[in-house]
C-alpha cells in the first residue's frame, strides 16, 4: 500500500457519518446492508448517504453489489486490513517493542477460532 491510498482510507473515515457507516457495515458482515436501510439506520438523507458511500467506496473501504433493485453495501475488510498493516509496518519501522503492546491489545478482541480436536 502506498501513502496516498492510506491517506484516502484514513480521510474517508475521518468524518462522523462515514465512520459510523463503516462500523455498522463491519458489524453486519457478511450480510451487508441495503443503501436505503443504511440511510435510515444512520439517520441521514439518502442523497447525503450516497455521497458518503461514494467516498468510502473510492477509498476501498466498502463494496457494493446489486441484488435485483437493491444495492447491498459491505465492509471492504481486505482494504481495512491492508491499511492497518501499513500503519503497523510503517510506524513500527521493524521495532517490535513498539508494536507489541498494540498487537497485544488487539488480540483479545479477535481471538482465533478454536480448531476441532480429533480423538
User: Which grid coordinates belong to 116?
Assistant: 476441532
Q: Mean pLDDT score of the chain, rounded to an integer? A: 88
Q: How many domains does the chain have?
A: 1
**Are the CB atoms for 109 and 69 separated by under 8 Å?**
no
Would 116 be classed as within a structural domain?
A: no
d(CA 118, CA 1): 40
Q: Binning pLDDT at 50, 70 and 90, where does residue 51 land?
A: very high
pTM of the model: 0.82
How does pLDDT run across 86-114, given as a tens digit for each residue? 887 766 777 777 777 777 777 766 666 66
Is 37 strand, coil or helix? helix
Would 33 be classed as within a structural domain?
A: yes
For residue 71, give the CATH number of its domain: 1.10.10.10
Would 119 be classed as within a structural domain?
A: no
**Mean pLDDT, rounded, for 3-20:** 96
Amino acid at each position: 500500500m502506498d501513502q496516498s491510498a492510506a491517506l484516502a482510507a484514513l480521510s474517508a473515515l475521518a468524518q462522523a457519518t462515514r465512520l459510523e457507516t463503516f462500523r455498522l457495515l463491519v458489524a453486519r458482515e457478511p450480510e451487508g446492508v441495503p443503501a436505503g436501510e443504511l440511510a435510515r439506520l444512520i439517520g441521514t438523507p439518502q442523497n447525503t448517504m450516497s455521497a458518503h458511500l461514494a467516498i468510502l467506496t473510492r477509498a476501498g473501504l466498502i463494496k457494493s453489489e446489486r441484488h435485483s433493485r437493491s444495492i447491498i453495501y459491505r465492509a471492504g475488510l481486505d482494504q481495512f486490513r491492508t491499511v492497518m498493516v501499513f500503519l503497523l509496518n510503517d510506524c513500527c519501522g521493524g521495532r517490535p517493542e513498539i508494536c507489541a503492546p498494540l498487537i497485544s491489545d488487539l488480540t483479545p478482541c479477535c481471538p482465533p477460532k478454536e480448531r476441532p480436536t480429533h480423538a
